Amino acid sequence: MSFTLLIVQTLNGLQFGVLLFLIAAGLTLVFGVMDFINLAHGVQYMLGAYLAVMFYALTGNFLIALVAALGAALLFGLLLEFTVFRHLYDRDHLEQVIATFGIILFLNQGVKVVWGAAPLSLPIPEILSGTVVLSPGILYPVWRLMIIGSGLAVALILYLLVSRTRVGMLVRAGATHAPIVSALGVDIRRLFMIVFGFGTMLAAFAGVMIAPILSVEPGMGDSVLILAFVVIVIGGIGSMRGAFIAALLIGLVDTLGRSFAIDILRLVMPPSPARTVGPAIASMLIYVLMALVLYFRPAGLFPAKGR
Amino acid sequence: MVKLLSSVAVMALMIGSAQGPAFAQEKLKIGVVTTLSGPAAVLGQQLRNGLQLAIKDNGGKLGGREVELFVQDDELKPDVAVSKAKALIDRDKVDFVVGPIFSNILVAIMKPVTEGGAFLISPNAGTSNFAGKDCNPHFFVTSYQNDQNHEVMGKYAQDSGVKKAFIMAPNYPAGKDSLAGFKRFFKGEVADEVYVPLGQLDYSAELSRIAASGADAIFVFLPGGMGVNFVKQFRQAGLADKVKFLSAFTVDESTLPAQKEAALGFFGGANWAPDLNTPQNKKFVESYKKEHGGAIPATYAFQAYDAGLLIDGALKATGGKTDNKDALRAALEKAPFTSLRGNFKFGTNHYPVQDFYQVKVVQVGDKFATSIDKKVFTDYTDPHAKDCKMK
């Protein structure tokens, strides 16, 4: 367990955390502002990846594919909002869960019909496909650094948007006192639509950025969705800052846990049982973390004010 | 009284006609249990396509009888598989069930199928328990015993002078069997033995460990989507030039369409490859490609095709009859067909005795496929066969 390995694994954890943040940010906005549980959020991440693959095949340019995929994902998100979600805002949570779960089934099957069940792939843009040498023999892919960088940039932009702009102010107000905001003459439906579209685009952006690393396949959003919910629960529902901190925390805990659990257990038990127990403990860690946070701070680490 | 007598007579006639000239016309019913949804759907489709192709190439018949296929999706969930297998037996009254892809499904459907009076023919999963102490007279395997492809890689690593190997598999029974199989033949140093959660997609943490371990080879068993992700990330991490890539079920024709160049030159252990040089195999690969828009078949398709041929051969031997289970079993045991792989017979445990190869990923036109590099085992019987006391 060398120092370099620790650094590399921390980078890996950051990269995972940033990715989770991109997904959880949209989810916490939609959940916080509109009190709407959108299970279909993970599907939008999947859709972003598929759209990028499609546009890349058409244009052969990653940047164009990225922009086109974001645009198309936004349009599709708004279409969903208009046709389905809009009618669910006033219903209770159970009905929202059932309806949006239906969307998951529908879209997972839909991408299979359109693009087939076989996994697809998106190449890394040529100039970013290399590796950097962290220390002799330890390489790190530039693309993963790129994900960290772009994720942090998005976090910064979000922070400025939410805390410094008029729309951001309305979003914050809407999260805590939606009826009052509405009474003051703000078109809350339109605000909801903007928030929803933006959240969709963030999820799609995460999908595009991860597509060169993971295979693009039906159902790829389902496992991420659960983690995104864990993130917003730990961070405090509706809190952007909470989502950011919680996402990084989960990314680091999960990655460092996976890579060092066995080594740490070996100090206290023989290697063979350590090998069996280690992975089991590692995959439990984030849920243990969630349980602890909920026990000590039931509203999450950074609860949105007024909730 | 006359009325009663006549109605009894009519009934007798009806029963008689239902049983009488049945065998010539009645369709042969075959159930298929395979995974057709979720990330592993590609494997399940190969299985189904392979069997369908075998029936088509035989003019829609097996053993001289028209075939009716009942295809069921097990959703990779043992409980779903059990209820669908029961439906195949009780409702559809199938004589054979062909499937599944995954070992946990096999373990689940074994009882319902074989105790329901049908023969179970596995074109892929071949767990160690059914090869050994739990071997079953109504169960046949046209693929391999699960350990074997891993053993091929272990033997190859040993023979080619690998000094230090990093080995990794999913944390479930087949994963443990896999690494045990590799270590049975590889006697060098094991740098580390890592189990990842089944279905893990991002391997950044493990890749960093591989790089830091100083291993000169890795051996992985990461089927389906897991392998697609790992291979891409392994190449991206710049490890492909330094560390020899050995694998089982990780680079094959079902995953290569997504892995593409990233898998070029990587090794696998297998009982077959599309370029295996037998006349029947050449014909099979050509007709599969024609049927499926140029897609190259993987082992799943070829093993399902062989399952079709096995049923065909056995039924020809019994004159198309399936009612005498002992006669049918005896016919199946003789493996009366020419396998696409050439050399093939059943061991006492109804698992194949066959050759194994080290295969390598090559480019064929604009597609990628495995290609036979070297024969590693000849007429190899699995290590569990000796524990089988077949009744």
Pick from B193, B206, B211: CB nearest A137? B211
Chain A touched by B233 (CB under 8 Å): yes
Residues B190 and B216: their CA atoms lie apart, in Å, by 10
Chain A touched by B9 (CB under 8 Å): no
| CA-based torsion, A36, A47, B249, B386: positive or negative | positive
Using a CB-CB distance cutoff of 8 angstroms, which residues of chain B are in contact with residue A23? Answer: none
Pick from A12, A119, A137: CB nearest B228? A119
Q: Facing residues of B140 across strands?
A: B121
Same fold, B22-144+277-350 and B148-270+357-380: yes
Q: Return the domain boundaries, chain B.
A: 22-144+277-350, 148-270+357-380
Comparison of pLDDT for A176 and B31, the residue scoring more: B31
Q: CB A280 to CB B237 under 8 A? A: no
Predicted local distance difference test score (pLDDT) of residue A22:
94
Average pLDDT over residues B94-98: 96
Residue B71: its H or E element: strand B65-73
Using a CB-CB distance cutoff of 8 angstroms, which residues of chain B are in contact with residue A143? Answer: 236
Chain B touched by A255 (CB under 8 Å): yes
Comparison of pLDDT for A175 and B185, the residue scoring more: B185
Give me chain B's average pLDDT, please. 90
Using a CB-CB distance cutoff of 8 angstroms, which residues of chain B are in contact with residue A145? Answer: none
Comparison of pLDDT for B154 and A270, the residue scoring more: B154
Largest CA distance in chain A: 67
List, as own/partner pairs, every contact residues A56-62 make where C-beta atoms lie below 8 angstroms and the sequence separation is at least 24, other chains included.
Answer: A56/A122, A56/A123, A62/A122, A62/A123, A62/A124, A62/A125
How many CB atoms lie under 10 A from the CB of residue B275? 16
Using a CB-CB distance cutoff of 8 angstroms, which residues of chain B are in contact with residue A142? Answer: none
Predicted local distance difference test score (pLDDT) of residue B13:
47
Residues B290 and A189: their CA atoms lie apart, in Å, by 54
Indicate the pTM of the whole model.
0.82
CATH (residue range B148-270+357-380): 3.40.50.2300
CATH class of domain segment(s) B22-144+277-350: alpha beta
Write the pLDDT tens digit of every residue in B344-362.
999 999 999 999 999 999 9
Q: CB A118 to CB B42 under 8 A? A: yes
Predicted local distance difference test score (pLDDT) of residue B24:
52
Residues A22 and A116: their CA atoms lie apart, in Å, by 27
Question: Is omega for the bond preceding B100 within 30 degrees of 0, making it cis?
Answer: yes
Using a CB-CB distance cutoff of 8 angstroms, which residues of chain A are in contact with residue B196? Answer: 258, 279
Instruction: Locate all alpha helices (DSSP H) within chain A, ordered by sequence.
Output: 3-34, 41-59, 62-83, 93-115, 142-164, 166-183, 188-210, 220-235, 240-268, 271-296
Least-confidence region, from A109-123, B2-16, B68-82: B2-16
Chain A touched by B41 (CB under 8 Å): yes
Predicted local distance difference test score (pLDDT) of residue B7:
52
Q: CB B205 to CB A143 under 8 A? A: no
Least-confidence region, from A183-192, B137-146, B329-338: A183-192
pLDDT > 90 in chain B, percent: 75
Q: What is the ipTM of this complex?
A: 0.80
How many CB atoms lie under 10 A from the CB of residue B196? 23
Q: Which of B48, B192, B209 to mutate to test the interface with A (most CBs of A within 10 A)?
A: B209
Write the pLDDT tens digit of every residue in A271-295.
777 877 887 888 899 999 999 999 9
Chain A touched by B172 (CB under 8 Å): no
Residues A34 and A195: their CA atoms lie apart, in Å, by 9
| Block residue for tokens 């790829």 | A220
Pick from A120, A140, A223: CB nearest B258? A120
Q: CB B41 to CB A112 under 8 A? A: yes
Residue B274, amino acid: P
Query: Which CATH architecture best describes the domain A3-296?
Result: Orthogonal Bundle (1.10)
Residue B364, amino acid: V
Predicted local distance difference test score (pLDDT) of residue B6:
54
Q: CB A117 to CB B45 under 8 A? A: yes
Using a CB-CB distance cutoff of 8 angstroms, which residues of chain A are in contact with residue B230? Answer: none
Predicted local distance difference test score (pLDDT) of residue B301:
96
Write the pLDDT tens digit of every residue in B206-257.
998 898 888 999 999 998 788 989 999 999 998 999 999 999 999 999 889 8
Predicted local distance difference test score (pLDDT) of residue B25:
60
For residue A132, give the 3-state DSSP assignment: strand
Low-confidence ranges of chain A (pLDDT < 50): none
Predicted local distance difference test score (pLDDT) of residue B15:
47
Pick from A137, A223, A279: CB nearest B171? A279
Write the pLDDT tens digit of every residue in B362-388.
999 899 999 999 999 999 999 999 999
Chain B touched by A283 (CB under 8 Å): yes
Is B18 a residue whose pLDDT tops 50?
Answer: no
